[in-house]
Amino acid sequence: MQYSFSAQIYKFSSNPSFCCVDVPADISAALGKKGMVPVAGIVNGIEWRSNLLPNAKGGHRLILNGKVRKQARVGLGDVVEVRLQLDEESREIPLPDELAEALRENDLLDKFNALAPGHRRYALLWLQSAKTRPTWERRVETLVRRLALKKTGNGGIIPW
């Protein structure tokens, strides 16, 4: 189901890039989830995927990052038209075969899979950002070495 609303952009914290809009209480309740809620939608005609974040009132807010604000040509204090829906498409990044093999060889695949989804995603994006093959290979070695040093497979951030 798709939901629509208008809301004014406001600054969420002292960081000027943390601009957001509040999701109306009825829409927040209709989504039926507490905590972060994955959504897809349109802000002033610009498509995006994001997460609704919980606010202190039992509802949600939507952070509008700089890229979305620039594309939508909006800023602090502007009113935006928002359409959103639950995003049920997977956000998992596939595990490259070579990384899976390196993790298996070191008996670390289960430990990697036990990491929080955000930590796995961070590690995979870090690998993807390598511009050369040698850099990618060094990062795989670093990931394997640091994962081997972790005492448990869940929680905590691998220190990059």
pLDDT digits (tens, 9 = 90+) for 17-42: 789 999 999 999 898 778 889 999 89
pTM over 0.85? The answer is no
Give me the domains of the chain, ranges plus CATH numbers.
3-86 (2.40.30.100), 97-149 (no CATH)
Q: Can you give the pLDDT at residue 18?
A: 83
Q: Please identify every stretch of the chain with a pLDDT value under 50, giving residue numbers as ranges.
A: 153-157, 159-160
First-residue to last-residue Cα distance in the chain: 40
Which residues are 48's β-sheet partners? 41
How far apart CA 27 and CA 11 sit, in angstroms, is 21
**3-class DSSP state of 29:** helix
The per-residue b/e assignment along 97-113, b for 16 or more CB within 10 angstroms, e otherwise, is eebeebbeeeebbebbe
State phi, psi for 49 to the nearest 5 degrees: -125, 135
Give all strands of the β-sheet with 79-86 in edge-to-edge order. Answer: 3-8, 79-86, 37-43, 46-54, 60-64, 19-22, 10-11
Q: Can you give the pLDDT at residue 26?
A: 92
